[in-house]
Homo-oligomer: A and B are copies of this chain.
Amino acid sequence: MKNKINITCILVDRANYGRLKPVLQLINKDSCFDLKIICTGSMLLERYGNTSKVVKNDGLKIFDEVYIELEGSNPTTMAKTIGLAIFELTNAINRTTPDFVIVIGDRSEALGAAIATVYQNYCLIHIQGGEITGSIDESARHAITKLAHYHFPSTDNAAKNIIRMGEHPSRVFNFGCPSADVVDASNDDFKSYSLDLGVGKLIDWDNPFLLVLFHPVTSEFEDAETQMNELLYSIKEIDIQTVIIWPNIDAGSDGVSQSIRKFREENIGFNLHAYKNFEPEIYIPLLKRTACAIGNSSSFIRGASFIGTPVVLVGTRQDGREISDAVIRVNPLKSEITKAARYQIEHGHYSPSQIYRKKGSS
């Protein structure tokens, strides 16, 4: 069919793939569209769980793999990686001859993908713009909004923000966050999945466990290791078995990883199991089952809010983002984290919030 619409989707990290997955599967099935997926950034790297393999396992074909991460884990290498993203993605996008290019979220690599798209006169669709969060991620998110031609924000407030920024209302579509569909579709029986791929002691899924995911804050990258230490020793104090996920690739991630590695060597008896990555089908049940989620992942704001998971939000990374009642904000200090986590574990689940959700948003 020569009349198919060419849609190119650029995936830059595992979290964003998790959110987009149901949309991509629908596009892929639709005979009107020819979907071409470009995997880049940390999705290709062993250290971050090589999420591109998950994409393949989900039945989606990868059109191109583009390596852009300059190793170093500091603000300079992070900025340069944006430069490499633009440099490399121009070619990759050209080869897909797209009618539309889809980019999601606010990562630095996504900003690079957006520039490579619009300066080559292709039409850019941005998913999950408009949210207010208060860090460099917010700047990148809004900059992508100003470059994009069509917008699919996740909340009504985000949609209003995008329109206030001057985008035409006819080009702003609020269908909610597609990850809500992943939550609905997810199965509680996650024990049937193979959960023994990480390193460290195995978790006893019939007993309470904590879920930890803490990313470095770019503007505080030199404090990343110290902040993670506070978090880990707080967990040791609480003394409940813990599932931990390695951080993403931002400046400071080497510090966070270093902290986890040292903690494991120095606390060999402690029941901490570290995973590189989860497929959404496993991650959502974990969010449902955990006694408390601790860290600063945006999934603790979105996914967790649909579910009512008690959350301890550590540090400044999500400042400004709309949060539900289930979330307690604390500074990255052991005493504050411990206190808040004990309160949340005691409290148990909250009622689900509708901030980020609409039915059938995909």
Contacts and interface: CB of A to CB of B under 8 A. Distances in A.
Interface of A: 44-47, 67-80, 82-88, 90-91, 94, 108, 111-112, 115-116, 118-121, 136, 139-140, 142-147, 161, 164-166, 199, 218-219, 254, 258, 261, 265
Contact of A44 (B72, B82, B94, B144): B72
A85 to B, nearest CB: 7
24 contacts: A44-B72, A45-B72, A67-B71, A67-B77, A75-B120, A75-B121, A78-B119, A80-B87, A82-B83, A82-B119, A83-B88, A88-B91, A91-B91, A108-B119, A118-B139, A119-B136, A121-B219, A142-B165, A143-B144, A143-B146, A146-B146, A146-B165, A165-B165, A165-B166
A73 B46 contact: yes
A249 B74 CA distance: 19
Given A83-B112, A119-B218, A69 B67 contact: no
Given A67-B77, A254-B46, A84 B82 contact: no
Contacts of A219: 121
B87 A87 contact: yes
Contact of A166 (B47, B142, B144): B142
Contact of A146 (B44, B83, B142, B199): B142
A13 to B, nearest CB: 14
A76 B83 contact: no
A82 B75 contact: no
Contacts of A112: 83
Nearest to A95: B95
This chain's copy number in the assembly: 4
Contacts of A80: 67, 86-87, 90
Nearest to A121: B219
Given A72-B45, A86-B82, A111 B115 contact: yes
B75 A67 contact: no
Contact of A75 (B108, B119, B144): B119
A265 B146 CA distance: 43
Nearest to A72: B67
Given A67-B80, A78-B119, 13 more contacts: A67-B74, A71-B71, A80-B86, A82-B83, A83-B84, A83-B86, A83-B87, A87-B87, A111-B115, A142-B146, A143-B146, A143-B147, A199-B261
B116 A79 contact: yes
Nearest to A115: B82
Contacts of A115: 79, 82, 111
Contacts of A142: 146, 165-166
Nearest to A77: B67
Contacts of A69: 70-72
Interface centre among A80, A84, A265, by most B CB within 10 Å? Answer: A80
Contacts of A47: 71, 254
Contact of A119 (B72, B79, B118, B258): B79
A46 B73 CA distance: 9
A269 to B, nearest CB: 13
A67 B144 CA distance: 26
Interface centre among A72, A74, A140, by most B CB within 10 Å? Answer: A72
